[in-house]
Every structure is written in C-alpha cells, then in structure tokens.
Structure 1
Amino acid sequence: MTQLSFSAGRLLALYEKVAEAPDAVSRLRRFVLDLGVRGKLVEQDPADEPAVELLKRIAAEKVRLAKAGEIMKPKPLEPVEEPLFVVPMGWIWTRLGNIAAYIQRGKSPKYTAADGAPVISQKCVQWAGLDLTVAKQVTLDSLAKYEPIRFLRENDLLWNSTGTGTIGRVIRLFEPPDKLVCDSHVTVVRCLGVDPEYVRTWLRTDHVYGVIEERAAGSTNQVELTSQMANNQPVPLPPLAEQRRIVAKVEELMALLARLEAARDQREATRDRLTAASLARLTAMKARAEQEKGKAGLPAGSEPHDDAFPARFALDALPALTARPDQIGQLRQTILNLAVRGKLVKQDPTDEPASELLKRVAAEKARLLKAKMVLRQKAPSSDPDYAIATLPSGWKGIALGDLLNFVTSGSRGWSEYYADSGPFFIRAQNIRFGQLLLDNLAHVQPPSNSEGSRTQVAKGDVLIVITGAGVTNPAILEREIGEAYVSQHVGLARPTDPKISWWLLLCLMADHGGRFELVERAYGAGRPGLNLDNIRSLTIPLPPLAEQHRIVAKVDALMALCDRLEAALTIADTTRARLLEALLHEALAPVSTAEREAAE
C-alpha cells in the first residue's frame, strides 16, 4: 500500500502556520528527517525489491570481501527485537553493522607541528561539512604504519564519538585527499550496498543524534560513542530505490527550509533595525523640540513639553516596537535614558531647582561632619570628558559623591565570621541589575570593632558590585531588614538625603545617566573592577526633587507595562511552540484511506 508523499507545498503550508515559533525552522528540519526515516516522506512502490532481499545481498558481499581479505570477518549481530516505531511494508529493522563494511574509531596519532599530513578530529566534523583548516598534523612515519583500510574513502561517514556539543555530528565525505585518517575521537562508517546519505539521514534524526546529544549534555562524565555502540545502532532500512527517493526529497525540503530561514533572518534583521531606529528616535524627540525652540527664539526648557508624549509612548509605542521577549531589554534601557534626560515627564517651572537641593545636602553633610556622625570623604572630581552637554531647566550636572555621606566597601577576610544565623551579609550574587535579592542572604557574626559597624547598611543605601562577573550592577536597599553588612565585593553609597536614593539608582542603570561612564571605568584596563573614587566621581544629572519623584513614578509604571508585554510575548512564544508540536504530531499520524483517496 502506498503512502502519501509529503510535498514542498505541504511543508510550506505548515511553515506558514508556525513561522513565528522561536525554533520553527530547526524543528521542521528535524521533522523532515523524521518523516523520511518513517516512510512518510515519499510514496512506497510495491515494485521495489524488499529490504530483506537487499540485506541478503549485502551479507553475501561481506562474506566475499572477508574471504578476499579486504574486510574483517563479520560478526553476527542480534536482531532488533524492540523497534522504535513501525516501518512500512517492504522495510526492515536491522543494525548499522549489518549494512557497513567497516565501522571503526580512528587511532591516537603521533602529532607533528610541520611536514605531516592532516588528521581529522571532532573539530573538523561540522554540520556544514568537513573543515580541514582546523586539522592537526600527523607524522608521515606514523602514517606509513596505518593499515590501508583506515585510509578514508569517498562516501565514508564520519561520526563524532566524543565531546559535549560535538558528539553525534555526522557528515559524508566527498573526494578525500590521499591517506587521510581520523583520530580516536571520530568513528568511520563505511556503508555497503545502501545509500550512505540515507544512513546519514537516519543518524541525524532525534532518534539517534538527539539521544546521544542529550546523554552527553546531561552527564558529568565524558560520554563516548564506541565502535560497539555504532555497530549495534538500529536502523530502519527501506528498499534501495526508496532510500534514494527519500534522500532526494529530504534534500529538496531542506533547501526550501534554508530559503525560508534566510528570508526569516532577513525579516528579523529588518525588524531589529526598525526597532533600534524607532527607540533612537524616541530618545531624540526632545532634542529636536529644543532645537526648534531655539530657532523660534525661545530659551531651551522655557516651557513644559506636552505630557501627551509619555502617554503615547506607553500606550502606542511599546507594543509596536517589540515583537520578541529579547527586545524588551532594549526598550527598558530606552525608558531609563528618556528618564534621566528629562524626556519622560513634564517639567514644572515652579519646582525648586536642583541647585537648592544641593545646598541643603551640603549643609546636612557639614552638620554630620561637625557632629562626627560621618567621616570626611575624599572630595569628588567629575571627569570633564563625561560632562553633560545639555540639561533641562532647573537641572544640574554633578558628581555622584556630592550627594553622598560616604562611599565604602565591605572588609576583607570576613569568611571567618560566617554563621548559620545572625545579621545578614549582602554579597555580590545578591545584587542583580536594579534588584536586590533578599531571599538567599548569608549570615555573619561580625567583629565588635568599628571595622564591623563601618560596613553596616541602612534603608536607602545604594549598593554596587565592584568586582566579579556582576561588576557595575546596582541595587537599592528599599526597606529595613535589620542588622546587615556588605561583603568586600560590594560598594556601599549612602545618600545624604534618602529621598534621592531612587533617582541615583536610575542614573546607575541608565547609560545616559552615568552607567556608560561607570562601565568604562570598570572595564577600562586589566581585570574588571571599580574603586571607590570611580563611584564618587561619576557624572550624573540632578533634577529638582519633585521632578525626581515624578520621573521615578513614571518609570515604575512603564517598567510594569514592559513586564506585562514581556509576559505576553513569552506566552505567545509558548503558544506557538505548542501549536508547532501539535501540527507536527498531526502530520505524523497515519493517513486514512478516505484522505488518501481524496488526495488521489
């Protein structure tokens, strides 16, 4: 009985339904392979010689080759008692060793730096084909000792046998150079009497490659594909003529998927460029408005800009500018940059200017110093290279240290004070970008001297990772948590006025608010890290206090909107993935007689 073939048109129709699924093309590639080795990709022809007859001829040829001394005497292999799935009529389950004249891992060669011959390692076996540019050299003397059967031939399959991320890759060899060999990390499969490309198709399916890759990725020890495992690998074998039809159809559909993938990549690249350009345009809106005021003879910042802008931005721009969850991060940074440049909320000319806030902060710092409640800190000095060119009316560019009572970091050598209970200990791993994780804090029993009290945190403190992988990550201690201290990898910046803490956090998160300078300081040279002067001297913009509060509230609202949008996009991706799986499952279901007759 024939099976309906799976045409390019059917694949294209399926792709149109699931094109937006995150891994649509890669999943469809695996689907095509699966259809092929199940006999669901091309029609079966009752006139084809059954695979069992093909196996008989292969067995007879192996006996002849063994008598001629061209191959080793074949060892009998156990029949496949529990096949993975039911195969069509005329097919048979067999083992790879039954349809191969030679299966063997390469030797461990004697390498040389020059005047040798290339040897294939697992790095040379790429899905795109053989890459000899990364091949090592084997000495010509050792190569002369190789048995002739080990030299690679046209149509040999090279099957990676080791290495997480490389094990299971399989390629077909075309026009190999003379006396080319593999090392011990690659298995050679030399097919006999069957289409080697069909065998490669089977070895690329999830039934084989997926299982090997999963086992390698999930193991703490190195997983190896031994020659014995390769010999005993079950294979669903169609008649030879059908093998060739399957290979041709797989190549046709894979070429179609390659074109679809290229078109999708181009669409995504165009969409990414459009998103980036749109976000850049949003950031530049106010600058153009100020330029227009200048042309009209009005002073910059002379009047509040239309508050309809943030509403349009929030309600209209956000969904239009993002189509994937990974784009939300770029959108969040745009919001932060708009915030610290005064482009997110309306300016109010009646607000007390930032210069008055600075005077109050300076007076309070002087009072604390006189009362010996804080120690005198090194005076900050802003870098003129990072001076802020233009600011809204009432704003001021300052050094971060102008707003702080002190900047310090945790003490070294506190590992001896770790405890099962007691005061909390905030470490770098507790600080994410803009977020302090309080659910996994360590405990310490700190020393009783002043060195302990120096690093104690308080509500409103701004914390910055100063060494390690998360360097420059900022967070704020937004509520009382009791007695707590910071580690040596965390910088502690205490604002003189706790009401400005949230504004400082925005500046440390926004590229235009000071983060760009902070990152450059951390990664400027050598091992990434910040010193306390890097923090004190950071150039930041300072708005009036009332405007700070309005900006922080607007940022909170827009970030919540981003959270909802990100969740919706993630749900959409999950839904598409489920639809893809459902459609693939449906496509693998048996075709009914009525459907077959209707199609014919």
Structure 2
Amino acid sequence: MNADRLLAHYERIADAPDAIARLRRFILDLAVRGKLVPQDSSEEAAKGFRKPTDPAAPFELPGNWKWIEIGDQFDLLNGMAFKPTDWSKQGLRIVRIQNLNNPDAPFNFCNPEMARDRSLIDNGSFLISWSGTPGTSFGAFVWNRGPAVLNQHIFRCDFKTKAFIAAFLRLAINGRLDEMIAKAHGGVGLQHITKGRLEALLIPLPPLAEQHRIISKVVELTGLCDRLEVARAGREAARDRLAAASLARLNAPDPETFQPDARFALDALPTLTTRPDQIKALRQTILNLAVRGKLFEGTTAKAASVGDYRTLQNGYAFKSSWFSKEGVRLLRNANIGHGEIRWSDVVHLPADRLGEFERFQLSEGDIVLTLDRPFIVTGTKVAHVSADDLPSLLLQRVGRFVETSPGLDDEYLFLWINSPHFNNQIDPGRSNGVPHISSKQVETAEIFVPPLAEQHRIVAKVNALMALCDRLEAGLTAIAATRRQLLNALLADALAPAEDREMEAAE
C-alpha cells in the first residue's frame, strides 16, 4: 500500500467534491483487502468452512485470509410484511429501512402479540437491508436501539459461527456493497437482491485477532475523516462568509466605500469562489450593480417605469384546432429557456394564415419573456429572437417588448430583466393554480435609465465580467476534474499490489 503518496498529495485533493467520501471508501477498501494493518503469519482464519461455490475471487487476499459465502456464516430471517392497518400509536417499534439509515426517522408501532419470534431484534442484532434504492437502502447494520420487530426487506442475520466479530463483518459486507447491488434486480429506482444471491455473496475472512486490529484502525481513521470533514466545512464556511459579505457590500453599497469595495470584490472573489453556486451569486451581483448605475463611478441614472419606453405585447390565443404539423412556428412558454429559444415540441400554424396575424409576427432582436412563472430561481425565462427563430408567431402567455419611446437600449433592457432588481419587484399572481405575471406588472416596474452612451458602456462591461465568470466557472470545472483524476490515481496506486508497483518502478 502506498498510502504515504496519498497523504503527501492530500492538500491538493482535499477540496475535490467527494474527497472525504472517497477517503472513507478507501479506508473501507483497505480494511476488507487486508491492507490496513500488518498481518501476523502465525495467525490463521477460522477453519471448517466449505470451499465457496463461486471460484471467481473479487480480489486477492493475504495468505492467511480466506473467502467464504455469507450463507455459511448466517441464517437469514426476513422481517414481517406489515400493513398500515397493523400499525398502532404505541407498542413495539417496527424497524423499516429508513430507521436504519436515519436515526431521526419516526417509527411505526404494532401490538407486540402480533410480532413473530423470528423477526424480533434487540441490541446487538445483525441486520442486512436487501431492497430499495441503490446508494441509500442496501447495507449491513448492527442494531443498538433496544427491542423491536423487523419490517419486510430487512434480514435478521443469526450467526452460525464465531469466526467473525460483528464490527468487522459489517465492514466486510458493506465493502462488497457494489456487487450486492449489481446482483440486485427490480424496477427503475427500486431494486432487491434475492436471499439465494445474498447467501452466495463472497466475503473475506481474516484471523480473529486481525479483525480486532482492523476495527481499531478503522475507528482511528474514521475519526480522522470526521476531523477533515469538519475542517473542510470550516474552510467552506469562512469562504462563504467572506464572499457573502463582499457581495452584500456591493448589493447595498455605501457611496463613500463603494469603489474600494468593488475593487476588493472583483480582485478577491476569483479566489473565494470555489463552487458554481458562488459564481451564480457573483453574476447576479454584477447584474444588480449594472442596472442600478453602480458599476461605474459617476454614472447618473434616472428612475423610471419600463412602460415609459416599452409596452409588453402578449401573444395571441390561437385555437388548438388551428394547429398543424408544419407551417409557421408558434413561440410558447415551453420554448423559452434562460437566454435562448429551444424549438422542441413545436406547435405550428398553417403558413397561409400568417398574414392574418402580422402584428404577432416576431422580428430578429425581439426580447421575449414568459408571463407564466416558474421563473428560474433569480432570472425570468427570457431570450432574444434570432434569425434562426423566424418566421414565428407569438402565442399567448409569452410577451415581447415594443418600443414606444427612444432612450432605452435593448441590450441594457435585457440585463435588467435578468437582474434581481427586476425579479424582486415582481409578485406573481395565480390563475388556475399556475403562477403568472401581467404585462402591467412588468411595465410599471422601476428601471434606472442612464444616458444611451452609458448604457452601451455598462453592457460592454457586464459582457466582459460575465466572460470572466465563464472563465472562473470553467476553471472550477477543470480544477475539480483534475483533483478527481489525481484522487483516482492515488487511490488506485495505494490499492495496487506491491509487486505491480515494483514492476512499474523497474520499467
């Protein structure tokens, strides 16, 4: 095992998205492969087990370990198939899979007299959940919460031998969890493993004394993982607080300190932003500053209603009986994503009817937005119409801006619609249970309008800053991928047999 190399590079991989979880898995892999603690050749695994029927060993074991089948160690007794009519408000607790995975999950209860003996458990009972959702439901557990009765899909595992201590056996089974799930079958999202397949699953059996040493080491290393996780959470929290404070000072600027605050934020945030959600917050802050005239020192912007410059034209309520399989496309709510139009699930109107609805025909450069809400988090579903989108007509519940007075640049208007300053002013109503906004709400919303030359300057600056955010986001993705690759390589190297590493070194 080349764990030294792993530890030497740990600082470089500690912030990989799943580094701690992978490290925990790595410890488990070492434990069940006989690589976590030194072996004592004088120790032997328990004797008396038959040779496994499955000759394909999943991995190589130390010479004094052996493979056995779960069925040679356990009698597997399934829980009871309780019905809701069997539940009561008090009595004997019924243990379901969620009670194994979540100590805070509530219990159902039953009359103790209806519980069969083979499904009763108490402290020290060994359990295996064998049905549910991969990644959350399957696994081995040692019960320690007093008398209870098992629900179905959980085996009570009665020991046949004294070859294992329960703590190591739990590791050994959970170390083969991927194979257990691979042997499971069932529908999408819900799977189960049959009793026969589980009984035939191979598990490693080390000498009893080594099992005790392994568990002591696992407890020690698990504690280290816990401390690393706390330390990582502390680093993340500190970065979050500093980033949030920097953004807050920009979103509620002090006129006397705004410019140094802005310089600090733009200089420091690339270092503080380590997750995509932080980049998203930075984008929203940039937009908010831009449309409030705070992106440049000395910007003068007057407060107005967007209706002073634009009206919002709603689409036409075309009848579904007019629709055809080809012709002129109708732009619907479902076609508008954040920043683009997606022509999927297209509805058409016969091309020969285009002239009847000329005032609803879209033009290149039009800004369109949905009047049905969901909006996406902090941004309206809004897009520009491109040449590729034409010809098309506007369907009801989609609006487009029509100029009524000069002085407002379309690109600046587009920034404003995407900004928190706009979204925070919109309180959607509901129609037949569906959230929606009205043209009047949009037209009466406040907008800060600087001179046109300043609007162009703001748009150019925002585009440059958004390009910076794109680079930051791409950099985060690349760094995460590099850390994950390095982690994979280090873990593979640490798990490789010693002779493989010696051959690589010789080459």
Question: Same fold per TM (> 0.5)?
Answer: yes
* Alignment counterpart, residue 68 of structure 2, candidates 52, 69, 94: 94
Question: CA offset at residue 181 of structure 1?
Answer: 1.1
Alpha-carbon distance in 1 for matches of 2:236, 2:179: 28
1:236 matched residue in structure 2 = 204
Alignment-derived partner of residue 121 in structure 2:
152
Instruction: List alignment gaps of at least 5 residues for structure 1.
Output: 60-76, 291-305, 348-391, 596-600
Residue 544 of structure 1: CA displacement?
1.7
Deviations 1:149-204 (CA, angstroms, capped at 9, x unpaired): 32114322333233225321432112522xx1111132222334211211211232
Larger radius of gyration: 1
Distance change >3 Å, CA 457–CA 495, structure 1 → 2: same
- Aligned residue type for 2:78: R
Tell me the alpha carbon deviations over residues 347-372 of structure 1, each in whole angstroms, 9 at most, x when there is no partner. 4xxxxxxxxxxxxxxxxxxxxxxxxx
Is 1:107 equivalent to 2:80 in the alignment? yes
Residue of structure 1 aligned with 2:303, choices 386, 389, 397: 397
Q: In the alignment, which residue of structure 1 is the partner of 2:17?
A: 22
Change (3 A) 1:523 1:443: closer
Higher relative contact order (CA 8 A, sep 6+): 2
Structure 2 unaligned spans of 5+: 503-507
Task: State the one-letter code of the partner of 2:218.
Answer: V
Deviations 1:72-131 (A, max 9, x none): xxxxx952211111111111111111111x2122111242232432101111111x6x45
> Could you tell me how far apart the structure 1 residues matched to 2:182 and 2:359 are?
52
Percent of matched pairs sharing the same residue: 36
Task: Please state whether the residue corresponding to 1:124 is helix, strand or coil.
Answer: helix
Task: Name the residue aligned to 1:371.
Answer: none
Corresponding residue of 1:39: 34
Query: Any conservation in 2 of the 1:463–1:477 contact (CA below 8 Å)?
Result: yes
| Alpha-carbon offset, residue 232 of structure 1 | 1.8
Distance in 1 (alpha carbons) for counterparts of 2:354 and 2:12: 68
Q: For residue 108 of structure 1, what is the amino acid of its counterpart?
A: A
Deviations 1:468-500 (A, max 9, x none): 544662323253332112444433333335962
CA distance in 2, matches of 1:79, 1:35: 25
Residues 1:572 and 1:449: Cα distance change in structure 2 (over 3 Å) = closer
Contact kept? 1:426, 1:485, Cα under 8 Å: yes
**Distance apart, 1:323 and its partner CA:** 2.6
CA RMSD in angstroms, aligned pairs only: 3.3
1:379-398 equivalences in 2 (<5 Å): 393=300, 395-398=301-304
Q: Secondary structure at the match of 1:41?
A: coil
Find the residue that maps to 1:134 and give its secondary structure.
Answer: coil
The residue type paired with residue 166 of structure 1 is: T
Counterpart pick for 2:403 among 495, 499, 503: 495
**Structure 1 residue 266: deviation in Å?**
1.0
The separation in 2 between residues aligned to 1:124 and 1:583, in whole angstroms, is 36
User: For the Cα contact (< 8 Å) 2:324–2:347, is it kept in 1?
Assistant: yes
Q: In 1, distance between residues paired with 2:107 and 2:231?
A: 34
How far has the Cα of 1:19 moved from its partner?
0.8
Name the counterpart of 2:109. Answer: 137
1:328 to 273, 279, 284: 279
CA distance, structure 2, for counterparts of residue 265 and residue 78 of structure 1: 45
User: Aligned to 1:587, which of 484, 490, 494?
Assistant: 494
C-alpha distance 469-158 of structure 1, shift in aligned 2 (>3 A): farther
2:130 counterpart residue number: 161
Per-residue displacement from partner, 1:327-351 (whole Å, max 9, x unpaired)? 110111111111012122354xxxx
Question: Is 1:457 equivalent to 2:362 in the alignment?
Answer: yes
* Of 286, 291, 294, the match for 1:343: 294
Cα distance, 1:533 vs structure 2:
2.6
Query: In 1, distance between residues paired with 2:407 and 2:187?
Result: 50
Q: Distance in 2 between matches of 1:501 and 1:528?
A: 26
Supply the distance in 1 between the matched residues of 2:292 and 2:442 (Cα, whole angstroms).
Answer: 20
| Equivalent residues in 2 for 1:306-317, closer than 5 Å | 312=263, 316-317=267-268
Take 1:211 and 1:425, find their aligned partners in 2: how far apart are those partners?
A: 51
Aligned residues: 492
